[in-house]
Amino acid sequence: MPTVDLAKSTLRELNHALHNIKDGSNETAWEVVNPKGSHSVAVGVDAPVKVDVHGSVGYYCGGMNSEATITVHGSVGPGVGENMMSGAIFVKGDASQYAGATGRGGLLVIEGNASSRCGISMKGINIVVHGNIGHMSAFMAQSGNLVVLGDAGDALGDSIYEARLFVRGKVKSLGADCIEKEMRPEHIELLAGLLEKAGVTGVKPEEFTRYGSARTLYNFNIDNADAY
């Protein structure tokens, strides 16, 4: 198991090594120690490897992730999993702003709380937050699923498209064109699968409320001018 100590190696050396993993390599599990809040840790990984980061990191950890499973044993700064394509990222602590922004696939699990704009412009990613999320989360979310076991801040789902939002706790307010929607059997099944993948136990899908688009802003209507 390769171990990279960022107190001795540079971040460029770490990411270069991760980007150059060859097909068939037996170096499938990596450890990163002493990250000390470094930005862009394990960005652009494009191989089915495991990366364990022991400590907290800064901006854009795991950005553009494809296939890798990245676990951060600490908290993360803004933009964790930004534009990730596949694979999984597990954050054992809290996440700062715009976690999972523009994510197109894969699974992002935050075991603590997430700050504002969680899931902004998400495009297919699945995000599960064990705690609370901040204001303007899922702003312009296009597709994918955002699951929140705690509470949501102001303007949840503002200008949302077809993403599905599941919140177990309270929602301070809904954004433009976001409404409460029926929880049908297919949503219960979907949510149960996401909770299992995220390691959530003792919580039932029936405890959540689903939110999504009212679809009134898809085409301009003068009666809705104030909402644009």
pTM over the 0.85 mark: yes
**For residue range 170-195, what is the model confidence (pLDDT) as tens digits?**
999 999 999 999 999 999 999 999 99
Token representation of residue 75:
């908290």
Q: What is the pLDDT of residue 228?
A: 53
**Is residue 37 within 8 Å of residue 9, measured between CB atoms?**
no
Q: What is the pLDDT of residue 143?
A: 97
